[in-house]
Amino acid sequence: MTMVLLIQALDCLIVGSDEVFNCIQKNPNVGYSLELFGKDNNAKRLISYAASFGNTTLDKLQAYAKDREISTYLKRFDAISVRDSNSGEIVKKLTGKEPIYNLDPVLTYDYMNECDEVPQFSIEEKYLILYAYPGRISDEEAKWISIYAKEKGLKIYTIGGIQKYADRFIDCSPFEVLAYFKNASEVITDTFHGSIFSIITHRPFVTLVRQSIGTSYGNEEKLMDLLRCLQLESQATYDIKESRKILNTTIDYYKTDELITNYRDVAVSYLKNNLNTIKKENR
């Protein structure tokens, strides 16, 4: 994540999306960055869009005595949009205001039907995509996936990180990622956006959920909220061995698409209302 000192005079500054509010973490490349809470900005209007605290919780903010400072900055926002219930609860507790809940931008925009940048290609061999960051798939999980893929006659393609037992690592552009997902027979992922890519390309998928234990970097808060929001909790598991059963079930993507369409309307309304407010103030 690149940090930029936000001192330009702007009509509106939108913070987000992704884990822009995840401030209690051990990653030295991110750390405690108040600029992501609007510090030193020079905008007439400050809003967030689908912002997330990730695995930063209210308890963690209080434990590190940062809750009051974060509260001060959050109260300066003209409107706050979050993408998960953990983030929403923090905002409510620290500001007394109910935030707007919006989907991640990758779901908000209809890439598969409205974007002409996604290439069209087909691959003769059948493959399973393993989409995870390097080091997060354990040896036991990698071995299970290898055995499972061979049983199904699938090659293992990895995107996002090199994994053990994989047949091929795909180094490609963001739009090509969607093309590879679209052509995949199945997907196993432990990431937020890996789940989203599977959903928008209508793939059979399973999401491995990681718990936040001690200093470990978990994704349970945001991932489970995403899947509940789209009524896809059945695609999540904490145990790789449950993946076979999950991948053999059929997902009702017609129902999922209806939910996404409704959330897209909410997102467009939120952004339009805030941008129209700026126009009115400038008259």
The tens digit of pLDDT for each residue in 42-92 reads 999 999 999 999 889 999 999 999 999 999 999 999 999 999 999 999 999
CB 111 within 8 A of CB 178: yes
pLDDT average, residue stretch 10-22: 91
Separation between Cα atoms, residue 36 and residue 23, nearest integer Å: 9
What's residue 25's pLDDT? 79
Structure-block tokens of residue 233: 């909790």
pLDDT average, residue stretch 174-197: 96
Residue 169: closest CA among 127, 200, 205: 127
Separation between Cα atoms, residue 145 and residue 246, nearest integer Å: 13
Separation between Cα atoms, residue 146 and residue 143, nearest integer Å: 5
For residue 189, the cross-strand partners are 131, 207
Helix (H) or strand (E) holding 100: strand 100-101
pLDDT in tens, 204-244: 999 999 876 655 566 777 888 899 999 999 999 999 999 99
What's residue 217's pLDDT? 61
CA end-to-end span of the chain: 36
What's residue 192's pLDDT? 92
> Does residue 272 carry a pLDDT above 70?
yes
What's residue 28's pLDDT? 73
33 pLDDT band, cuts 50/70/90, is: confident
Separation between Cα atoms, residue 66 and residue 264, nearest integer Å: 33
275 contact partners, CB below 8 Å, separation of at least 6: 12
Separation between Cα atoms, residue 46 and residue 192, nearest integer Å: 26
Separation between Cα atoms, residue 128 and residue 183, nearest integer Å: 9
CB 151 within 8 A of CB 244: no
1 pLDDT band, cuts 50/70/90, is: very low
What's residue 95's pLDDT? 97
Residue 197 one-letter amino acid: F
69 contact partners, CB below 8 Å, separation of at least 6: 34
> How many Å separate Cα 240 from the centre of its chain?
21
Determine the length of the chain.
283
244 contact partners, CB below 8 Å, separation of at least 6: 148
Separation between Cα atoms, residue 244 and residue 163, nearest integer Å: 19
What's residue 283's pLDDT? 58
pLDDT in tens, 104-153: 999 999 999 999 999 998 899 999 999 998 888 999 999 999 999 999 99
148 contact partners, CB below 8 Å, separation of at least 6: 243, 244
Residue 203 — φ and ψ, nearest 5°? -95, 150
Structure-block tokens of residue 273: 């209302």
**Is the Cα dihedral 277, 279, 281, 283 positive or negative?**
negative
What's residue 135's pLDDT? 82
pTM, two decimal places: 0.88
CB 204 within 8 A of CB 232: no
Separation between Cα atoms, residue 3 and residue 87, nearest integer Å: 21
